[in-house]
Amino acid sequence: MKWYHYIAAFFSGAFLANVVPHFFHGVSGDPFPTPFANPPGRGLSSPTINVLWACFNLLIGYILLKASKLTTKNIYGMIVLFVGIVAISLQASMVFMDKMK
């Protein structure tokens, strides 16, 4: 894999991990922050916007995954994908920690 395939794998992991909270809240009928809320990322967006945002993240994550040319036999590529998942997950957990208070 070339260096830019690893970057695509990292961001693929980030986009794919971001699908989970938005899709979960959207199909549950709960408002949840999106970049389209006021203020962006802090205010709440409707469940419909969250489902649409989750689908957009899924599409971009899939496109990046295909562009990364990642295979399960490439351990370094799989690690980079996992690091992308962990990075966005930890960042989201810190940002949305105050949402529960």
Q: Is residue 19 part of a domain?
A: yes
Upstream peptide bond of 39 is cis (omega within 30 degrees of 0): yes
Give the pLDDT of residue 100. 54
Give the pLDDT of residue 42. 80
Q: Is residue 78 part of a domain?
A: no
Mean pLDDT value of segment 2-7:
94
Q: Is residue 80 part of a domain?
A: no
* C-alpha span between 19 and 10 (Å, rounded): 15
How many structural domains comprise the chain? 1
Give the pLDDT of residue 47. 95
Q: Is residue 79 part of a domain?
A: no
Whole domain around residue 95: which residue ranges?
3-71+86-100
* C-alpha span between 100 and 92 (Å, rounded): 13
Give the pLDDT of residue 39. 86
Q: Is residue 23 part of a domain?
A: yes
Query: Under DSSP, is residue 32 helix (H, G, I), strand (E, B) or coil?
Result: strand
pLDDT digits (tens, 9 = 90+) for 56-86: 999 999 999 999 999 999 999 999 999 999 9
Q: Is residue 77 part of a domain?
A: no
